[in-house]
Chain A
C-alpha cells in the first residue's frame, strides 16, 4: 500500500513538457529520491504534488485520497508538506518564531480564540513554543533559536526550513535539494537527521543532486530526464541502468558518488 501514488502526471509550459506522464509510488516509512539533470522537471513535479501547480493530465493520490489540483494549504493539512529549492524562511522572525509559525496546523484557534485568549488558545501558543524548541534541538539548531533567521548560515537555514516543515506534522515530507550549499560535515548531519525523521514515522521524498547522499539514505530512486521517468529502482539498480548513465552523459560515475555534475 503506497502513501503517495502519482499516475501519469503531465505539466506543460507553452510548448515545453516539463513533466511528461510520470508515474511512481512512494511506500510509507521510507526515504525515496528523485534525481535527474538540471531542468529535468523535478521541482515541477513537487509543485504538482504539493498543489502549487495543477497538472494538465494525470492523478495524484495521497493516502487514498485524490489530491490532484487541491489547494496547497489543504494538501498540507492532509499531511503532505514541502520545502523549497530556494530557502523560503520568514526573514523577519527568529529561528524559533519561524518554527512556531510552522505549527499552524497543530492548532485551531481563529480570530475569537485570539481575542478572548481562551485556555485552549494559550495552550496552543505554549505548545507551539515547546514544539519549536524540540524541533530546533532535533535538527541541532537549539543554540540558534533566538537569532533572526537571516543571521543563520545557509546550511542552518536549510535545516531550519526542515524543522519548520516538521512543525506542520507531516506524514510525507518533500524536500527540494536539502543538501544544496551544505558542506560535507553539514551533509553528514543532514543524512542522520533524515534517518531520524523517518524514525519519527515521517515518510521522506527528496530531490537531490548530491549522489553520495542519495545513495546513502534513499531506498528507492526515481530518475527524471526531460520530464520523463527514465528509471526507477533501488540505488544499485539505478546505478547500473544504461539510460541513467546516458542521461548523465558519462559525466560522473554515480557509484563514485561524484555529486557535482550539476554544480
Chain B
C-alpha cells in the first residue's frame, strides 16, 4: 500500500476482482462511445462525482477528518464558471481555474480557524459552511439568478472552440478524472500522504513524531476543496446549468454513499462507488426525489450492516483465497476513515 516493498503480493483471486471491475468499466465506456446517448450522460455524471468523491476521500479517508460542507466548494467552482462564462463571456479555461482558486482560498480562510474544532463542532461548522454558500447562491440573485439558477453555460472547450458533442465531453471528463485519480494516488504515496495517514491514525502520536497536524489538516482540506470545485465547475459545463438545488446537502450525502459503496481510504474506491451508484438505473434521472430517497436509505443500511463499506464485503470474499496477512492488511486499510474520522 504505502510502498511496493511493504505490500504482500495479492493472490490470484484477490487480483481477479479488481481486474474484472476494470474490464467491466472499460467495456462500459467503450460501449458508451459507440452507442452514445443516455449512457454517455450517465457516465459523465459518474466521472464528475468520482472527482468530487476522490476529494472527499482525501479529507476523510486519508486524513480521517470530517466535512459535511464539501458542496460549498463545488458550488463555488460551479457558480464561478457559470457566471463568468455566461455574463462576462470568459472562456471556460479561464473561468475554471479562477473558481478552483477561489475555492482553495476560501478553504484556506475557513479551514485555518475551523479545523481546530473537534467532533460535533467541526461536523456542524462544515455543515453550516455548505448551508451558507447555498444560501448566498439563493440570495445574491443579481449575480446568481437566485432559485432559478443559471442556464446556457457553454460546454467544455478551449481556444474558442467548444467540444462538438457529448462523446467528446465525456472523453474530456474521463481525462479529468484520470488526472484527479493520478494526483490522489501520488499524494497518498508520498511523505505528505504518510503524514495524513498518521493524523488519521492518532493525532497525538503524529504530533509527537514532529508532524504539524494543523498544517497538514489544512492542506488536506484545501486539496479536497480543489477537487470539489473542479467537479463543480466541470458539472456546470457538462450539464450547462447550475442552481442552488444542485449543490445542496444531498450532494454530500450522495458523495458519502458512493464513498461507502466503493471503499473508504482506497485510491480507486471513489471510482467504483460513483460508477455503481450512477448506474443503478432507476435511481437516475426522471425521479429526482426517489433518487435522493434511495441514496439516503442505502447509506443508512450500509452504515448499519456494512460499516466499513461494501468493499469490505468484497474483501471477505477474496480473503478465503488470499494469504491471511494480505487480506488482514487489506481489511484493516478500509477501516481508516471510520476509525479516524471519530476524533
**Chain A contacts to B: CB under 8 angstroms:** 50, 52, 71-73, 76-77, 81-84, 88-94, 96-98, 100-105, 107-111, 113-115, 117, 121, 124-126, 128-129, 132-133, 145-148, 150-151, 161, 164-165, 167-168
Given that A52-B204, A76-B207 are contacting pairs, would A92 and B265 also be in contact in the complex, using a CB cutoff of 8 Å?
yes
| Interface contact B190-A109, CB-CB below 8 Å | yes
| Interface contact B219-A111, CB-CB below 8 Å | yes
Q: Is B122 an interface residue (CB 8 A)?
A: no
| Interface contact A104-B194, CB-CB below 8 Å | yes
Main secondary structure of the interface of B (DSSP, over half): helix
A–B Cβ pairs within 8 angstroms, 30 of them = A50-B208, A72-B208, A73-B213, A76-B207, A84-B204, A88-B204, A89-B202, A90-B197, A91-B335, A92-B333, A92-B335, A92-B336, A93-B201, A94-B1, A94-B329, A97-B2, A97-B194, A100-B194, A101-B198, A101-B206, A102-B209, A109-B192, A110-B192, A114-B193, A115-B187, A117-B190, A125-B189, A128-B191, A133-B5, A148-B332
Contacts of A147 in B (CB 8 A): 325, 328-329
| Interface contact A93-B208, CB-CB below 8 Å | no
Given that A107-B191, A113-B190 are contacting pairs, would A146 and B204 also be in contact in the complex, using a CB cutoff of 8 Å?
no
| Interface contact B6-A146, CB-CB below 8 Å | yes
| Interface contact A76-B200, CB-CB below 8 Å | no
| Interface contact B332-A121, CB-CB below 8 Å | no
Q: Which of B2, B187, B195, B333 has the most CB of A within 10 A?
A: B2
Q: Is B285 an interface residue (CB 8 A)?
A: no
| Interface contact B191-A97, CB-CB below 8 Å | no
Given that A84-B204, A101-B194, A151-B328 are contacting pairs, would A129 and B210 also be in contact in the complex, using a CB cutoff of 8 Å?
no
| Interface contact B194-A146, CB-CB below 8 Å | no
Q: Is B148 an interface residue (CB 8 A)?
A: no
| Interface contact A92-B332, CB-CB below 8 Å | yes
**For chain B, which range describes its interface: under 10, 10 to 19, 20 to 34, or 35 or more residues?**
35 or more
| Interface contact A90-B201, CB-CB below 8 Å | yes
Given that A93-B2, A109-B192, A148-B332 are contacting pairs, would A76 and B209 also be in contact in the complex, using a CB cutoff of 8 Å?
yes
